[in-house]
Amino acid sequence: MNLCYPASVKNYGPRTVGLFFPDVPEAATVAKTVTAAIDQAPDALVVALSAYVDDGRPIPAPSRAKRGQAMVCVPPMAALKLAIHDAMVQQCMTQAALGERLGIDGRQVRRILDLDHESKFSQIEAALAALGLRAAVSIEKSGSPVAA
């Protein structure tokens, strides 16, 4: 499951730029520069996609970027949690049923699905396994190095 979404930039004036996601219309951010908007964009995606989790809706699949669109990725832990949610939706599995498979109660499943909660990776792995999934890591070069 790749959760890197194309983002469109709209200039509103000399120091106001908007960033919008065609695949996730609820996500948007505004900043003074394109760089600042792109830096804020993962948070905008997390906030918007958390509403999908709250509503029990499937996570929208990212489309291919068009010319001039930036690609913005959901942070890794949030992407794992969204994969769990999406698998639950596809399998018509309730939080209680997942909790039963994991031997935990519903509150713990809610925390696993909460994009703001810092879950342990072992919990995420167990939830993925209970849904017939596993996590794989891919490391890529970023657009530019960050000075320490």
Determine the Cα–Cα distance for residues 71 and 63; give it in Å rounded to an integer: 10
What letter represents residue 118's amino acid? E
Determine the Cα–Cα distance for residues 55 and 34; give it in Å rounded to an integer: 31
| CA distances for 11 relative to 20, 40, 61, 105, 140, angstroms | 11, 16, 26, 48, 29
Region(s) of the chain under CATH 1.10.260.40: 76-130
Residues 70/9, Cβ–Cβ less than 8 Å: yes
Determine the Cα–Cα distance for residues 97 and 127; give it in Å rounded to an integer: 11
What percent of the chain has a predicted confidence (pLDDT) above 70? 96
Determine the Cα–Cα distance for residues 46 and 40; give it in Å rounded to an integer: 10
What percent of the chain has a predicted confidence (pLDDT) above 90? 81
- Choose which CATH entry (3.40.190.10, 1.10.260.40, 3.20.20.150, 3.90.190.10) describes domain 76-130: 1.10.260.40
Give residue 37's pLDDT.
93
Of 15-24, 88-97, 132-141, the range with the lowest mean pLDDT is: 132-141
Give residue 97's pLDDT.
95
In terms of DSSP H, where are the helices of the chain?
Answer: 34-55, 76-90, 95-102, 106-113, 121-130
57-74 average pLDDT score: 93
pLDDT band, very low/low/confident/very high, at 23 (cuts 50, 70, 90) = very high
* Topology of the domain covering 4-73: Double Stranded RNA Binding Domain (3.30.160)
